[in-house]
Amino acid sequence: MTSPADSPIQTLLRLMAELRDPERGCAWDVAQTSASIVPYTIEEAYEVADAVTRGDRDDLRDELGDLLLQVVFHARMAEEEGAFAFDDVARAIAAKLIRRHPHVFAPDGTLLPEGSPRCDPAAVEAQWAAIKAQERADKPAPAAAPDPLGGVALALPALMRAEKVSRRAASYGFDWDDAAQVIAKVREETDEVAQALAEGEAGAVAEEIGDLLFSVANLARHAGIDPEAALRDGTAKFERRFRAMAEELHAEGGALGRSDLAAMEAAWGRVKHKEKG
């Protein structure tokens, strides 16, 4: 039972515990494992991003609640196993925030006094990366050789993971000098895709396209662009123009599926011209 005196987070934690009760809870919730709800966790994170992109604050509030539920769900299952509880999650992230913001907090978590040196955003990012690297170095040495790319989550979207893996490799000095060199690599990979297509071997084509996409992720990193956001925006632009093209065809008495490619390309060109003013 919940109590009116409970804080909202206490209520949520109690509800999750009740849902997981083997005798009186929900059979679906009881049957779940951390592995089984991972797809929902990922989906909720994307729905948060979608609400932000659309600028819908009411929807963002709801989607953040759904994402918080995933955190509570994972923490509850871990608590049942005796691993950790929600409070441990909160304490750990609070400690990490203090540790990784020495320009804001003293080691005990109190704010630094007014007039303390401030960092600009670029310096903060560099400091954050250095602190993370030191944290990795301070961990007990594994029996085997340490994985230089360890910690880059396998479940990340492929494009985002490509950028993070390449950024980690670059932190060891394994990188191109500038974006121009990456463009040359993109062109090289494009030529290799064309060669694989000409040879007609599906496995080689897939491999070369993967190399091309990885090179493009590196190009985005060198340009200071988030490749995931850039692709999302590019897809949204295509969607907008495709719908407008369909409207153009409809206004002329045509329709998608009945118009030939030449008519669609002409309508597409008009849409682009209108967008550019």
The upper half-sphere exposure of residue 162, i.e. CA atoms within 13 Å in the direction of its Cβ, equals 18
% of the chain residues with pLDDT over 90: 74
Q: Which residue has the tokens 């999302």?
A: 232
Rounded to 10 degrees, what is the CA torsion of 244, 249, 253, 259? -150
Query: Per-residue pLDDT tens for 169-184?
Result: 998 899 999 999 999 9
Nearest to 65 by CA among 1, 9, 3: 9
Asked whether the predicted pLDDT for residue 277 surpasses 90, the reply is: no
% of the chain residues with pLDDT over 70: 97
Q: Please report the pLDDT score of residue 137 as a whole number.
A: 76
Q: Please report the pLDDT score of residue 155 as a whole number.
A: 79
Mean pLDDT score, 147-164: 87
CATH code of the domain made up of 1-96: 1.10.287.1080
Q: Please report the pLDDT score of residue 64 as a whole number.
A: 97
Asked whether the predicted pLDDT for residue 53 surpasses 90, the reply is: no
186 falls in which pLDDT band (50, 70, 90)?
very high
Assigned CATH class of 164-225 = mainly alpha
Nearest to 248 by CA among 265, 231, 233, 236: 265
Asked whether the predicted pLDDT for residue 206 surpasses 90, the reply is: yes
Structural Rg of the chain based on CA atoms: 25
- Three-state DSSP at 111 gives strand
Q: Please report the pLDDT score of residue 130 as a whole number.
A: 87
How confident is the prediction for the chain on average, in pLDDT? 92
Mean pLDDT score, 50-57: 92
Query: Per-residue pLDDT tens for 223-263?
Result: 999 998 899 899 999 999 999 999 999 999 989 889 999 99
23 falls in which pLDDT band (50, 70, 90)?
very high
Give the tokens for residue 144. 């085997």
Enter the pTM of the model. Answer: 0.66
